[in-house]
A and B are shown apart, each in its own frame.
Chain A
Amino acid sequence: MIMDTIIEVKGLKKYFKTPSGICHAVDGVDLSIERGKTVGIVGESGCGKSTLGRTMIHLTESTEGSIVFNGEDITRVGKAKLKELREKMQIIFQDPFSSLNPRMTAYETIEEPLRISKRFGKKEIAERTVALMRLVGIDKRIENSYPHELDGGRRQRIVIARALALKPELVICDEPVSALDVSIQAQILNLLQDLQENMKLTYVFITHDMSVVRYLSQYICVMYLGQVVEHCPTERLFENPLHPYTKALLSAIPVPDIHMPRKRVVLKGEVTSPINPKPGCRFFARCPHAAEACRRNQGLVEAEKDHFVMCSRLKEIG
């Protein structure tokens, strides 16, 4: 079967200069995503998953590496081409309270991308805006409401409508439900799934909620301090996690059954600082299996088919 790759990221790095040194927010990530699929990116806060998402669609400029989207390297294209490609890559933000302009009504926010693209006439913009509002389930009644008058779920629907206005192919979902009430989370997740089916969207789903990615994504990348430490199809990760960090992460998922015996892997210590990291395994300081071999730089190894892990002591750990 030929893989229809929508975006391929190679050796992507994003460093930030900080007063105390260089912060390796994203440090050498390789990723290739198949069209129409959902890839989950998980990791604890501060591991660089949001930065990865934003860098992938060139909202923040990458320091190094290539991002090939639909056959074109977006780190090299000119401004005009980038604008064209950007329409095909959109982002849904985590916090629907800060991702909507407080001075624009729901209608104005949704129509803005259509207006800016200059491809449609006045009448068509109006038609499309109404269609988009229906698509994401916003009542016509609230079209003239300002964001502060709406609840989180409705705001997030507006954000989604804005992102979908120009028919993107790739949508980065940066923790789209973590700021919402649990009851609304399910609604939004279902909406995202329906939209994916109907519009053939590809999602990059960034989250720290393991049960959400398990439900939505076919493929998972586990990130730790700017690096992807393990990636494989979703079910395999849950059945057979290989990296010690993934094991700890999975064991932290709450189980709704108090009688179920479970082994909790508790990590000691703090997340190592991403500023000027030492060479070798990033997880070294907290890993229960750390050994001398871990001080060397690590690479992703295919442990089994389609299952890549960045750990040099796989055999010893078993």
Chain B
Amino acid sequence: MEQNGTYSFLYTEDDESVKKESMFRITMKRLLKNKMAVLGGIILIIIVLASLLAPWISPYDYTYQELYNVNAGPSAEHWLGTDSLGRDILSRLLHGGRNSLTIGIVSTLLSALAGTALGATAGYYGGAYDNVVMRILDVFQAVPSMLLAIAISATLGTGYINCIIALTISGIPGSARMARASCMGVRNQDYIEAAVSINASEPRIIFKHVLMNALAPIFVMATMGVASNILMSASLSFVGLGVQPPEAEWGAMVSAGRNVLRYYPHICISPAIIIMLTVLSINMLGDGLRDALDPRLKQ
């Protein structure tokens, strides 16, 4: 300001300004303080690393069959035993992680992005646009998401990419609804009006002012989404529409073991435990991230 200096009466002693930390560093610092989140993160990192390194660390090829040694329990040669076709379960778990994790994470990311874009704009603009978008999504949501995913993958054909597409589409209505509700709550705050009065552009208002403050529930929903999409892809494989054999996939492994659950429970149990661990660790990490991202909880 030109008047700079004439305001000495308002001027208070300047203390050293508190050093500004980047949002990322603050978030990381706070995340690391949260024991549950750290534990979740560690478990997840182990699972992801193990899946990535599968071709090098797995003891057998995931298609290698020992036909004289089917349904074998855990032993020194096969730590987790073999399945009904004599394949090493540990190797298949490691390889299957690549499919399951990619499907779960990619489809959730895509549906969260698309859903948030639709939901945030619908929540911000309201009116006719909101109505049109939400009614279309209602149609999608009227069909149970599992059925929708089945219908889509049946139309597109089976396979890895189509499975991701199917899960993405069936996930959009839920995340859009969540984003919309969350943004509508923020939309009526005074700081949105203040942003209008200082001529902020609409994309800026929607992104910087509305969305940044509506992110927490969307975030939690997305982390839960990864978990549920892994389960959904398992279900798709279960009905034969997901990843096709002999490709390994956790859900498919559970469903294959189901037939002999009573006699050889180990076939089912280990992939089931891995799914559970993955889902649990993602949820723990997601919960921690949500808390770490909220400046209001800053100590």
- List residues of A whose CB falls within 8 A of some B CB: 54, 57, 59, 83, 86-87, 89-91, 93-95, 98-103, 105, 107, 112-113, 116-117, 128, 131-132, 134-137, 139-146, 148-149, 159, 162-163, 165-167, 191, 194, 198-199
Contact = CB atoms under 8 A, between A and B. Distances in A.
Contact of B20 (A103, A144, A163): A144
Contact of B199 (A98, A100, A117, A199): A117
B6 interface: yes
Interface string B178-191: 00000000000111
A93 to B, nearest CB: 5
A103 B295 contact: yes
B10 A131 contact: no
Contacts of A191: 10
A148 B209 CA distance: 16
A135 B18 CA distance: 20
A132 B195 CA distance: 18
Contacts of B18: 141-145
Given A86-B199, A191-B10, 10 more contacts: A59-B193, A93-B190, A98-B190, A116-B201, A132-B1, A135-B1, A139-B14, A140-B16, A165-B198, A198-B6
B11 interface: yes
A134 B295 contact: no
B75 interface: no
Nearest to B298: A146
Given A100-B191, A101-B191, A134-B11, A140 B17 contact: yes
A162 B189 contact: no
A162 B194 contact: yes
19 contacts: A95-B190, A98-B189, A101-B195, A103-B213, A105-B20, A112-B198, A116-B198, A117-B199, A131-B4, A139-B15, A140-B17, A141-B18, A142-B18, A143-B18, A148-B295, A191-B10, A194-B7, A194-B9, A194-B10
B16 A101 contact: no
A135 B7 contact: yes
B15 A141 contact: yes
Given A102-B295, A136-B10, A198-B3, A93 B204 contact: no
Contacts of A141: 14-18
A206 to B, nearest CB: 14
Contact of A91 (B11, B12, B14, B194): B194
A59 B14 contact: no
Contacts of A136: 10
B155 interface: no
A243 B79 CA distance: 93
Nearest to A118: B199
Contacts of A148: 295-296
Interface in B102-155: none
Nearest to B191: A101
B3 A199 contact: yes
Contacts of B6: 198
A143 B7 contact: no
Nearest to B200: A116
A69 to B, nearest CB: 14
B191 to A, nearest CB: 5
B10 A98 contact: no
Contact of B296 (A90, A102, A112): A102
B14 A101 contact: no
B1 A139 contact: no
Given A99-B191, A134-B10, A113 B17 contact: no
A98 B14 contact: no
A102 B10 contact: no
Nearest to A164: B1
B17 A128 contact: no
Contact of B11 (A54, A112, A128, A137): A137
B218 to A, nearest CB: 14
B16 A103 contact: no
Contacts of A163: 197
A113 B198 contact: yes
Among B15, B194, B213, B295, the one with the most A-chain Cβ atoms within 10 Å of its Cβ is B194
A143 B295 contact: no
A80 to B, nearest CB: 10
Contacts of B190: 93-95, 98-99
B212 interface: yes
